[in-house]
Amino acid sequence: MVESSRASAHDGLAIEVVADAAEMGRRAADVVVETVIAKPACVLAVPTGTTPLPFFTELIARRRRGEVDFSAAHLFCLDEYLGLSPDRPNSLTHWLMDAFIEPAGITPERRHLIPATSPDPEAAAAAYEADLAALGGLDLAVVGLGPNGHVAYNEPGSGPETRTRVIELTAESITQAGAYWPGEDPVPGWAMTMGIGTLLEAKRIVLIVSGDSKAEMLRRTLLDPMDDDVPASWLRLAGGRLSVIADRDAAGALGTATD
């Protein structure tokens, strides 16, 4: 079941409310497949975390059925803990390799990893931006919504002008990450993230959200005034290039915005 509507408070913002997380994954996968078929060498970004798992499952299934071919696509990672290399089990990149990049068949030369281990993070972040710009920027960015309103790892306080950079994580984000952090080593307090300004230059942005724990933050993201306190709210500056796909639980606080 799909219930589609537009937010009456914000012209041009498409909010698609679907029955559950599995349907959210299928609808987000539709957008990715359309993008890849239209432009096989497209430039993509996808999130980490539990929210995109149904989305990844659907994309991998479609690839195995021969419905989509990612071999020419470029994948830019959104974020990584500062100092963690991709071979570390706790790294976001390692997780994404297992969950999506490798089973999707994205070739090694088209995997653009956050340079979180560089001895000069500022220069490395600038080079990451330059690599993305040289490919024409993101054709599609699929992003999730953090419990504190972060998008990628743009924590509260991040504005719409931000680019790829090192950022200090909030205590809330560190606590949340701890649930996925095996072993005794502490969760790093810093990360490198693609900036909101970088994301806003994408030709299309899809925000995926599931679960009632995200309902209030999704309401703030879409209906309250845009503000650095809720960095994801700045995605609305993309206007018609932004689509929101939320399951019924996540959309529960939107009220008349989806009537």
- Where in the sequence numbering do the catalytic residues fall? 79, 148, 150, 155
- The H-or-E segment that residue 53 falls in is helix 53-64
Q: Of 210, 54, 228, 48, which is closest to residue 142 (Cα–Cα)?
A: 48
Q: Describe the chain by its helix, strand, coil percentages, rounded to 5.
A: 40, 20, 45
Return the axis-axis angle of helices 21-38 and 53-64, rounded to nearest 10°. 50
Separation between Cα atoms, residue 55 and residue 30, nearest integer Å = 10
Contact in structure between 231 and 158 (CB atoms under 8 Å): yes
Question: Pairing relation of β-strands 140-143 and 205-209?
Answer: parallel
